[in-house]
Amino acid sequence: MKEQLLTVGLAQISPVWLDKMATIKKIEDSIIEASSQKAELVVFGEALLPGYPFWVSLTDGAQFDNVIQKEIHAHYAHNAICIEKGDLDTICTLAEENNIAIYLGIIERPLDRGGHSLYASLIYIDQRGEIKSVHRKLQPTYEERLTWSPGDGNGLLVHPLKAFTVGGLNCWENWMPLPRAALYGQGENLHISVWPGSDYNTKDITRFIARESRSYVISVSSLMRKEDFPTTTPHLDIILKNAPDILGNGGSCIAGPNGEWILEPVLHKEGILIETLDFNNVLQERQNFDPVGHYSRPDVTQLHVNRERQTTIRFDK
């Protein structure tokens, strides 16, 4: 049964760091390549477009009112994505033309929050090229809080894709039990987990979530090497002085609903990783454990989720 099978592509690539247009071109090329390999879903890493804020930990980012931090942050904001202005339109068009769904990690600069603050957002684009959810990371981690803003629950949504129900979280959100449960409770059976680039994270949590949820789990990380910093980067000399040769080594992988590897973490390899998933394995593993079905007690514990998009201003009509 063709509906039971889903071919997925894991786009383990580096950004053209903090260069929006060049990174979009690289993403577009990856979508076309994934489609040429018969992928029906392609997943990109956290904050890939236009890049993870590696500079913060390399340039003493906690200094308050510091000129260096202000100038790099402004460069970041210039290259962030405004969905309302059509920055993702060409990617949506490619999704439709190639009949491929996309999960993409972006740095979003949304107009509904004033158009200046930045959010690490995970975007789902369906096979018709329509943006179906924009999940802004609930809680930036450590130094991320110096450049990213906290999101809300609006994007805690799942989506139908052939026989599967897909949902996703950003990076360390995957360690948060309640957001995971919010997706499980909506029927998620293919969990997307996106990362900036490290098997340090993916090698444990990927199998754990699969075991807990009895779902497929796809973890996708980016790559980032010292040579991936463009010469146009503000204060590049300071960044390179303190940067290691490898900032993101990949680690993209897939675990099956039994918690065992389908694709073990792949390191230092740039390209599209292709696998085909069989939905029937989900049903087999749910026979003995279903965390929101027969192995739950909603009469004892329930989760309340606020999916209202947060905004500073509300206008009365």
Separation between Cα atoms, residue 4 and residue 284, nearest integer Å? 13
Asked, as a colleague might, if the bond just before 50 is cis with ω within 30 of 0, I would say yes
Greatest alpha-carbon pair distance for the chain in Å reads: 60
Which residues sit opposite 167 in a β-bridge?
Answer: 191
Q: Does the active-site annotation cover 82?
A: no
188 is catalytic: no
Structure tokens at 95: 């999704």
Q: Are 103 and 155 in contact (CB under 8 A)?
A: no
Who's near 150: CB < 8 A, 6+ residues apart? 136, 137, 138, 139, 140
Contacts of 101 (CB under 8 A, 6+ apart): 40, 41, 42, 95, 124, 125, 126, 127, 159, 161, 166
* From 108, 162, 171, 253, active-site residue: 171
Catalytic residue among 46, 144, 188, 285: 46
- In whole angstroms, give the CA distance from residue 162 to residue 5: 8
> 20, 26, 137, 162: which one is catalytic?
137
Cα of 177 vs its chain's centroid, Å: 17
46 is an active site residue: yes
The catalytic residue positions are 46, 137, 171
